[in-house]
Amino acid sequence: MAFMGLSISSPSYLLFGMVVLWLLSSPAFSADPDPLQDFCVADLNAPISVNGFPCKPITNVTSDDFFFDGFIKAGNTTNTFGVNLTAGNVLAFPGLNTLGISMNRVDFAPGGLNPPHSHPRASESGVVIEGKLLVGFVTTGNVFFSKVLTAGQMFVIPNGLVHFQLNVGKGKALAFTAFNSQLPGAVVLPSTLFASSPSIPDEVLTKGFQIDDDVVKSIRSKFGF
């Protein structure tokens, strides 16, 4: 059998095959797809839905579409976890649409915890601006990596891995995080497992965590269920 004048057993054909396989598999190394134009400011109210958001007409685009002032104020951390996450994703900042990036502001009360969670569509990097944070993640092989960081220190969370940040300093703490997705998504384990709608059957949780019914009920009640 021959392909473009090459025998199937020839080294050139094998090399061609390897290059094709590499090209086919390379999109797996990036998160959001690359843009096909300079920008596509999201029209969040468009009547059609696509993977991402349709662009608003270019003639409607102004400078304000490319700037976001949602991070100026600290979030209110008086809540269960003592943490407030201000999202600078495409929903808050439509100018990010198709660009494959976004950021969050994360404020921590003393002792505040950004509870164990993962981002299904992004790797994360972050920098501590104020305070002292224990940052940790667990690999798919159950290895835990962690470090205590102070102002100016940076961290990275590989794509999709479960991670957390805990304020271990005496005062409040502040960090900014960045993602290679316009909408990284968050699977927050406590609420995903114990506060979904409708609820995951009790038996899944009692068996899954090897705990009794009353423990499941007690955890659910903490989330108002």
Ligand X SMILES: *[C@@H]1O[C@H](CO)[C@@H](O)[C@H](O)[C@H]1NC(C)=O
Report the binding-site residues for Mn(2+): 117, 119, 124, 163
Name the amino acid, one letter, at 173: A
| Of 9 and 78, CB closest to ligand X | 78
Cα separation, 190 vs 117, whole angstroms: 8
| 191/199 with CB nearer ligand X | 191
Please choose, from the candidates 220, 214, 224, the residue with its C-alpha nearest in 3D space to the C-alpha of residue 200. Answer: 220
Check residue 198 for interaction with ligand X (CB under 6 A).
no
Instruction: Please state the closest distance from residue 79 (CB atom) to ligand X, in A.
Output: 4
Scan residues 16-45 and list those touching ligand X (CB under 6 A): 43
Residues 41-100 that bind ligand X (CB under 6 A): 43, 56-57, 60, 75-76, 78-79, 84
Residue 13: CB minimum distance to ligand X, A: 51
Closest distance to ligand X from the beta carbon of 128 (Å): 19
Q: Which residues are annotated as a binding site for oxalate?
A: 104, 114, 119, 124
- The CA radius of gyration of the chain, in Å to the nearest whole number, is 22
Least Cα distance to 65 among 77, 56, 53 occurs for 56
At its nearest, how many Å lie between ligand X and the CB of residue 223? 12
Residue with tokens 């038996």: 203
For residue 129, the minimal CB distance to ligand X (Å) is 17
| The two three-digit tokens of residue 100, written as one number | 């494959």
Instruction: State which residue, 6 or 186, has the beta carbon closest to ligand X.
Output: 186
Is the preceding peptide bond at 198 cis, omega within 30 degrees of 0? yes
Neighbouring-strand partners of residue 3: 6
Distance CA 82, CA 78 (A): 6
Question: Count of residues binding ligand X (CB under 6 A)?
Answer: 9
Annotated binding site: 104, 114, 117, 119, 124, 163
User: At 90, which amino acid appears?
Assistant: V
Minimum CB distance to ligand X smaller for 115 or for 160:
115
Closer Cβ to ligand X, 83 or 128, answer by number = 83
Residues that bind ligand X (CB under 6 A): 43, 56-57, 60, 75-76, 78-79, 84
